[in-house]
């Protein structure tokens, strides 16, 4: 989950950047003079940390690596990546300028790729959710699928943003994913042709028995304006009940989920975070509860993550909705994105999310009130028992009243 923060300089990164700038003008023979003027800013509290070791490795690579020349920029960016990798957190990463640009484009609602969200689950690169009507969706990829290789490159030691970078590419070009579907005995290679991915995130329709069906597929820059317009239409339609479909919604911006929650919980706390020092920060919705009078069922599955879990958890905690479907992904951490001067960026986990009643989302996700599975057979036959059950419950409620 990303917070919308303005760019600011992180002290540790600034120090490393400073080291890099100075090092460009020095030869290896001047390395120790350089260290004496800069490493005083780069002290570690650990007595086991040997600063000379870093520069020894750097110098050895520059002198002895077989494929010369070795660019200082490559070593510098590699060192920053390794620094963040030392956290052993799949959601924290250093993004080189090109990857940072791709990441920001993906949040704007349009990019070129296959159209799916990925994450790390049980130590393996995993499909969180294929977005509807995208190449990944049409290729049959499903939430929970494991990606063992991308164009033959093993993903076991790959971080998320490296994987995203490899999967994305120009429209019309292929990418081959080695996929393992849960329950299968072997992997299969799936070739997908990339396309322009335009994400229309909110849609609705009025179904039988005056039941409104609202689908939210992502929480990006366009979602809030799309939702506001559709919510007004739903209020005017005055339905007997409402189904909110968050299945295969991988998340996005925090503030969007909090604003949407306000249509049910008004100005109550939608979620709170807890940082490394234990400090808690509450995020209040600012709505008027315009949809709170409607009997609401929220559909979720293992592809519902991050902002989806925040919205579902808030409505569940305040008894404004029945959660139906399957247990969600369980991605409950806060990432802060800091843009750096050269176009690169640091995406760092800075806190964890908790529902209003204090449930830690990363531990078990959101557990549905009514469990309804969508089986492999249902998927193949294009049946939707989860949606059918939700419609049946709301129809019965309407008849009782």
Active site residues: 306, 317, 331
CA distance 266 to 257: 13
State how far the Cα of 372 lies from the Cα of 349, in Å rounded to an integer. 33
Specify the length of the chain in residues: 401
Instruction: Judge contact between 147 and 178, C-beta under 8 A.
Output: yes
Cβ neighbour number for residue 375 with a 10 Å cutoff:
10
User: In the beta sheet, which residues pair with residue 325?
Assistant: 300, 371
CB atoms within 10 A of CB 193: 13
Question: Angle of helix 160-167 relative to helix 97-108, nearest 10 degrees?
Answer: 80
CB atoms within 10 A of CB 73: 12
Structure tokens at 353: 């999310």
Distance linking the first and last C-alpha atoms of the chain:
40
Residues 6+ positions from 197 with CB-CB distance below 8 Å: 110, 111, 112, 113, 114, 115, 131, 134
**Residue whose entry in the numeric block shows the structure tokens 């077989």:** 66
In Å, how far from its chain's centre is CA 258? 16
Query: How far apart, in whole angstroms, are the C-alpha atoms of residue 251 and residue 264?
Result: 19
In whole angstroms, give the CA distance from residue 100 to residue 291. Answer: 37
């Amino acid at each position: 989950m990303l917070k919308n923060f303005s760019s600011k300089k992180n002290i540790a990164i600034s120090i490393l950047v400073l080291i890099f700038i100075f090092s460009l003008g020095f030869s290896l023979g001047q390395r120790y003079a350089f260290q004496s003027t800069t490493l005083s800013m780069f002290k570690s509290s650990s007595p086991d940390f040997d600063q000379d070791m870093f520069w020894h490795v750097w110098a050895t690579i520059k002198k002895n690596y077989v494929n010369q020349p070795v660019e200082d920029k490559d070593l510098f960016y590699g060192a920053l990546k390794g620094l963040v990798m030392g956290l052993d957190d799949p959601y924290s990463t250093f993004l080189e300028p090109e990857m940072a640009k791709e990441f920001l484009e993906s949040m704007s609602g349009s990019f070129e790729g296959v159209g799916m969200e990925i994450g790390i689950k049980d130590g393996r690169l995993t499909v969180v959710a294929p977005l509807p009507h995208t190449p990944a969706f049409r290729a049959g990829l499903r939430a929970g699928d494991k990606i063992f290789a991308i164009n033959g490159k093993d993903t076991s030691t790959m971080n998320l943003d490296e994987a995203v970078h490899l999967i994305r590419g120009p429209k019309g070009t292929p990418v081959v994913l080695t996929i393992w579907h849960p329950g299968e005995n072997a992997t299969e290679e799936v070739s997908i042709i990339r396309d322009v991915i335009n994400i229309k995130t909110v849609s609705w329709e009025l179904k039988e028995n005056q039941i409104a069906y609202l689908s939210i597929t992502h929480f990006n820059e366009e979602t809030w304006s799309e939702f506001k317009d559709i919510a007004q239409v739903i209020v005017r339609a005055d339905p007997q009940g409402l189904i909110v479909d968050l299945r295969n919604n991988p998340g996005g911006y925090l503030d969007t989920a909090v604003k949407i929650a306000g249509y049910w919980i008004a100005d109550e706390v939608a979620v709170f975070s807890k940082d490394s020092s234990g400090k808690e920060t509450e995020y209040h919705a600012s709505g008027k509860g315009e949809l709170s009078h409607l009997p609401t069922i929220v559909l979720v599955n293992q592809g519902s993550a991050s902002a989806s879990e925040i919205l579902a958890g808030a409505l569940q905690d305040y008894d404004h909705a029945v959660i139906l479907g399957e247990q969600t992904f369980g991605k409950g951490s806060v990432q802060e994105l800091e843009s750096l001067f050269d176009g690169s960026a640091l995406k760092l986990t800075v806190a964890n999310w908790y529902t209003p009643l204090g449930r830690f989302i990363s531990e078990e996700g959101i557990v549905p009130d009514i469990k309804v599975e969508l089986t492999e057979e249902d998927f193949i036959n294009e049946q939707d028992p989860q949606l059918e059950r939700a419609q049946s419950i709301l129809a019965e409620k309407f008849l009782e009243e």
